[in-house]
Chains A and B, each alone.
Chain A
């Protein structure tokens, strides 16, 4: 990996450092602020579990962020992460608590605007919905958990000192869980924008265990978070403990556990799989704000006790910060991309091509896109999804699903299945049958990703998508990830 790549990844590392400095306080702030846990202990536990969470479970939320906007050039990823980091840092310096999740989402949308890429509004709405759902859910969990703890302690009649000792152990345990959830959920904020352009290759530690390129990316990001925890989080930990509402150590434990449960719910692929298998609605895997979850839990407890102890003025300041953050981050990203591209001559997005050739038109027509939208555009090509859709919507309005179909099927990928690329490919993620099928396509070329996918699925059912039911969601998602990886590997220019 050359120095340029490392420098460009640096903005993500800066963002990771900021996240460690700020969000570690959400996990251990009350424990350290109330002097129940020493800072050194808190920092060590937080760092270890953030790294574990990021490497072991970080992929789920990153996937959703990728669907919002797939930044395909490392210069673009650099500026998106830098814009988010600058927003977080600037807001913190102004004394406003900030959500890293909202900053990175704003930056991704800024990139979409600059590159004239279509923003998937459903994904955006899903993310915004979770910004509302997260604090409410955390508050509800906190109330239920608090009532249970209160009942239990009244029954247990523990000696005050014994309760103190147990509370310390519980705070460390909850902090570890919270740090794991923080790593799992928020590593997407730090390194998610670099996933499509990851400079790492899969690395086999043992015969059975491989560290994928994404895991290596997340490991780097989580180490940056750990450095932020050790170097800058102490002051934030000591002040965040009782800023919004004075709390006892047990209330602090309830807040941390509630926050951790919410973050875990929104990042656990295992839970999503289990819910899908049981036929239940799944929870979207989205990076949610650690700060929002903590504040939601604190407000929940405050309202349970009558709301008198809550500092509503502080809360309104926090809410203002949350609203301003994504807009500010988007604006900084947009301006930054302009300078990066035009002044520093860096590629911030890959030039794309969208063509409405006859076979594309046939396919999108079969999938329900109205003919009136594209009848006079057959044979035309466009440099961005935005231009393509603008041209089509002049003729006829399109639904969100139709937009998605048009963008997917019209996009040109110059895919070349060469022997040299096959020899470098990491087959560990595919089955024997899938590998066999892929190798049969050696020497073939495709203009579009869907043609490549069709060729694979025609040769083997293991490359076919299952019917779009809830229980097949996980299987189809894995298949889509594998196909996306194949396209990135065999596309010309890589």
Chain B
């Protein structure tokens, strides 16, 4: 009797457990896409758009595709099972916002591959520092999003980190752009490099936007 009750309970909440895992997996993909972008940029700056870089590019594309599939599956399940009716809209927007971050990471990998910016060595450290800060910012917003599902009180803590790292990213991006425009490079190369600084910095800005909306969702989630 006890075993039967336990197995009935497992069956009763099995769909819920699967969906929880899918949401966790989705956030894992966002985190992975950030790490892949960071490594790919290191490789590009050190060796150019070689085979290793192309491999990271393909990996980034695969991760983004898998993330899209997971997002769609989660959205369909939420509607089909009429789960969390009062918060469903917020959760779907959150997933789409996080998906946008993955899209920007993947998009930047392709832009670098297609446009192949010529980055002087003096600016490598600036680009790498900016990228690390931006990826840390995105990781913080991922933690904030996970907390929204599991530990609502921690959302605020992680949001504070997102804001901090976004500000840091702004400072580093601005410093890098100043350095670029103060250099002897021709204007076209300066503009090209500036474009990529802005594309990378955009990620931190998007992460901060997600954190702001998460703060509102967290208030709504309170009993």
Contacts and interface: CB of A to CB of B under 8 A. Distances in A.
Interface of A: 34-36, 146, 149-150, 153-154, 157-162, 164-165, 169, 248-251
B186 interface: no
A325 to B, nearest CB: 33
Given A248-B223, A251-B223, A161 B149 contact: yes
**Chain B interface, DSSP helix/strand/loop, else mixed:** helix
Looking at chain A's contact residues, the main secondary structure is helix
B150 A161 contact: no
Contacts, number: 49
A161 B151 contact: no
B28 interface: no
A160 B87 contact: yes
Contact of A161 (B20, B86, B223): B20
Nearest to A153: B223
A154 B19 CA distance: 22
Nearest to A167: B84
B16 interface: yes
Contacts of A35: 82, 85
B223 A162 contact: no
B187 to A, nearest CB: 51
A34 B84 contact: no
A116 to B, nearest CB: 55
A3 to B, nearest CB: 46
B191 interface: no
Given A153-B223, A161-B149, A251-B223, A34 B19 contact: no
A41 to B, nearest CB: 12
Interface of B: 12-13, 16-17, 19-20, 23, 82-87, 91, 148-151, 153, 221, 223
Contacts of B85: 34-36, 249
A169 B221 CA distance: 19
A402 B13 CA distance: 64
B119 to A, nearest CB: 43
- The 5 closest A-B CB pairs, nearest first, are A35-B85, A165-B16, A160-B149, A164-B84, A250-B223
A161 B83 contact: yes
Given A149-B223, A165-B13, A160 B86 contact: no
A150 B152 CA distance: 12
B219 to A, nearest CB: 12
A154 B153 contact: yes
B20 A159 contact: yes
Contacts of B12: 165, 169
A248 B86 contact: yes
B15 to A, nearest CB: 8
Nearest to B78: A161
A162 B16 contact: yes
Contacts of A146: 223
Contacts of B149: 159-161
Given A35-B85, A36-B85, A249-B86, A157 B150 contact: yes
B149 to A, nearest CB: 5
A354 B12 CA distance: 66
Contacts of A169: 12
Interface centre among A34, A159, A169, A248 (most CB of B within 10 A): A159
Given A153-B223, A248-B223, A250-B223, A160 B13 contact: no
B79 to A, nearest CB: 11
Contacts of B23: 161
Contacts of B150: 157-160
A153 B222 CA distance: 10
B155 to A, nearest CB: 12
Contacts of B151: 157
Contacts of A248: 86, 223
A178 B19 CA distance: 31
A34 B148 contact: no
* Chain A CB within 10 A, most for which of B12, B86, B151, B221: B86
11 contacts: A36-B82, A154-B153, A157-B150, A159-B150, A160-B84, A160-B91, A161-B23, A162-B17, A165-B16, A165-B83, A249-B86
B86 A34 contact: yes
Nearest to B153: A154
Of the candidates A158, A162, A165, the one having the most CB atoms from chain B within 10 angstroms of its own CB is: A165
A406 B86 CA distance: 61
B207 to A, nearest CB: 21
Given A165-B13, A248-B223, 7 more contacts: A36-B82, A159-B20, A159-B150, A164-B16, A165-B12, A165-B16, A249-B85
A161 B16 contact: yes
